[in-house]
């Protein structure tokens, strides 16, 4: 199958991003952009983000996960600690997160270090999940090879029976990560591919240095 994509292009003309409009702390700008994206009718899942890790095979791998919270410290998501991404983070906790909000012609690219959340914080979030999602965390050996869909359904039924009428506690292999950023780049599409790219870099004194990058 062959399809020529060379003429797929779009002129970005919605907004601009100037240093004079940027706060000292990038988390303030992230909060502003996230709120605009969340209120936009053009964006389906504002908190969907790609996460890139380096596996034991030396290859980077991207996948989409959901951001569940952001604070002044960083960005929180949850996963199976024994999954492919969990094992990769255990080996190398330097990861990259990115958001792309096409309706606003914006990207945010975050480099940071991931660390496990305290167990009580993971417990608190797990308790807020629907029972089906809780059972899924028990039933799925994430990233492992399975023989069929039937095997997955059988595993789920096993845990449905096990926890019937009981509280579904958090499995120890499942929990949260906090990604503490060391670099946050804000990308705003502009005409003629002359996009605005402003990067915040964390300094030794924990201040942030703001620099413009060529598009």
Q: How many helices (H) and strands (E) does the chain have?
A: 5, 9
> What pLDDT is recorded for position 7?
74
> What pLDDT is recorded for position 2?
78
DSSP 151: H
6: pLDDT strictly greater than 80: no
> What pLDDT is recorded for position 18?
94
4: pLDDT strictly greater than 80: no
13: pLDDT strictly greater than 80: no
What's the rounded mean pLDDT across residues 114-130?
A: 96
CA–CA dist 102, 183 (Å, integer)? 22
Please identify every residue annotated as catalytic: 193
> What pLDDT is recorded for position 31?
98
CA–CA dist 182, 184 (Å, integer)? 7
As a whole-number percent, the residues of the chain with pLDDT over 90 amount to 84
Mean pLDDT of the chain: 94
What's the rounded mean pLDDT across residues 166-192?
A: 96
At residue 207 the predicted structure's pLDDT band, cuts being 50, 70 and 90, is very high
- CATH code of the region 19-129+173-213: 2.30.110.10
Here the contacts of 87-92 (C-beta below 8 Å, separation 24 or greater) are: 87/55, 87/56, 88/53, 88/54, 88/55, 88/56, 88/61, 89/53, 89/114, 89/177, 91/54, 91/56, 92/53, 92/54
At residue 10 the predicted structure's pLDDT band, cuts being 50, 70 and 90, is confident
């Amino acid at each position: 199958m062959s399809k020529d994509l060379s003429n797929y292009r779009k002129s970005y003309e919605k907004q601009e991003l100037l240093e004079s409009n940027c706060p000292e702390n990038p988390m303030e700008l992230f909060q502003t952009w996230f709120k605009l994206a969340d209120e936009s009718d053009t964006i389906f899942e504002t908190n969907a983000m790609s996460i890139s890790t380096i596996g034991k095979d030396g290859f980077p791998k991207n996948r989409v996960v959901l951001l569940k919270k952001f604070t002044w410290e960083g960005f929180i998501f949850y996963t199976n600690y024994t999954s492919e991404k969990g094992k990769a983070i255990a080996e190398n906790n330097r990861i990259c997160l990115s958001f792309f909000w096409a309706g606003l012609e914006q990207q945010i690219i975050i480099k940071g270090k991931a660390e496990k959340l305290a167990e009580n914080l993971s417990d608190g979030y797990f308790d807020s999940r629907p029972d089906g999602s809780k059972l899924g965390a028990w039933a799925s050996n994430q990233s492992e090879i399975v023989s069929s869909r039937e095997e997955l359904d059988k595993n789920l039924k096993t845990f449905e029976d096990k926890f019937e009428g009981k509280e579904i506690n958090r499995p120890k292999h499942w929990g949260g990560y906090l990604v503490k950023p060391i670099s946050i780049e804000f990308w705003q599409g502009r005409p003629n591919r002359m996009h605005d790219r402003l990067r915040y870099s964390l300094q030794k004194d924990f201040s942030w240095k703001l620099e413009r990058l060529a598009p």
